[in-house]
Structure formats: structure tokens, C-alpha cells
Structure 1
């Protein structure tokens, strides 16, 4: 399946997302903040970047910008609990998918599978 770079500062949510994606057959590299995710890009390539937007250090939009520059064509999915931030992310990366929290794990896995299949 897909190799996914996950950046999420909420440790509980990061664990839930990682387990759900791994159960669906994906390989997940999980990071607790944007700076760690940028460092993890060195260990790519990845099929998908799944990132929270609001995080300590580099935010998800910055992570996506760096990731897209290093790996053109990388699929990007943002997750956020802030509607205004979701709008900013959609404008900054129009090709990216933006999901609002709370998101059901089954829906997230379905969206990931749609994105990596495209």
C-alpha cells in the first residue's frame, strides 16, 4: 500500500491515526510536530503527507510547502479543527485535501485510499 508521512502534535490522535492506517495496510512514519516531519522527509519518498495544520514549530502548511518542493507530485492531506485555518490551507495548496476534525477514522482511511489511488 502507501507510505505515509503523518504529522500530528496530539499524541492520542497520532496514535489512533497511525494504527488505523497501518491496519489498512499502509506504512506510516509518524511525527509529533512539523519540524520532525520536515526532518523525516529525508527518509522519503512518501506517497502521501497527512498533516495537522496547527502545530508547534513548523505548521502543516510549511511542512506541505517543503514536502512539495522536495517531492513534486506528493499527495497532501490536511486535518484541522479550525475552519479559518482550513480555508487558508485550501488556498495555499489547492490540490490538497482538507478534512475537518473531528474526523471518523473510517472516513480518513477512505480518503487516504482515494488519494493514493488517484
Structure 2
């Protein structure tokens, strides 16, 4: 299972990556939206863990690009804000599968990603 992690805070991204790796997933961590778009152009991913609060660009652009370039990739959105807490993110992004608070324990996030990676595969 190929997972792209897009997280501006490298330490947090590495924490998520270690938990996903323990579940046998192949992960790639990027910290910038442009790097995420380059990865999505070059490599297939089944799931994308995407922080909505990216520095240096818009996570929404990354999600839009993913829906165009890799329409079967599932996106697990993570945020520390209450924006989209009404669930409207699912209306905006057909590839959205989960919307988690940034405070979600990494092992729980990994379990959610594992669930969506195996869905339909």
C-alpha cells in the first residue's frame, strides 16, 4: 500500500510515517504542497494523509490535483482547526474519506489509513 503524507511539521509527519510503516505500508513524507504535487505526478498512491494547514501553499490545491491525477486515491484530511467540522469537506472533495483532528493519536490515524487503503483494493 502506497501512502503519501503531506505534513508541514516534519516531526509530526515522521511520527505518522513510523506508525504507518509498522503496519506494512510504503510511505513517502513531503512537507510542501509543490513536493506533494510532484509526487502525485510521478508515483501512484492509494491513500494521501493531508494536513489542511500546510505552509507554503494550499492543501486544497493538493487535494484537487490528486482527484484529477489519481482519482482512486483516498484522502484522509487532518486539521487542528474547526473549519469544515460540519462535514462539508466531503461535499467539496469526492476523494475525502476521513476528517480527523490533529490531536488524533498516531496509532488511530494509522488504523484509519489502513482501513481506507484496503477499501476496494
Q: TM-score, normalised by structure 1?
A: 0.90
Q: Secondary structure at the match of 1:109?
A: helix
Say how many residue pairs are matched.
117
Which residue is equivalent to 1:82? 81
Structure 1 unaligned spans of 5+: none
Structure 2 unaligned spans of 5+: none
Structure 1 pair 61/106, CA: closer, same or farther in 2 (3 Å)?
same
Runs (4 or more) in structure 1 with deviation over 4 Å come to 85-88
Structure 1 pair 106/112, CA: closer, same or farther in 2 (3 Å)?
same
* 2:111 maps to 1:114: no
Task: Quote the Cα distance in structure 2 between the aligned partners of 1:38 and 1:93.
Answer: 16
Alignment of 1:16-95 (within 5 A): 16-87=15-86, 89-95=89-95
* Maintained 8 Å contact 2:3/2:45: yes
RMSD: 1.6
Q: Which structure shows the bigger proportion of residues in helix conformation?
A: 1
Q: Secondary structure at the match of 1:84?
A: coil
* Maintained 8 Å contact 2:73/2:95: no
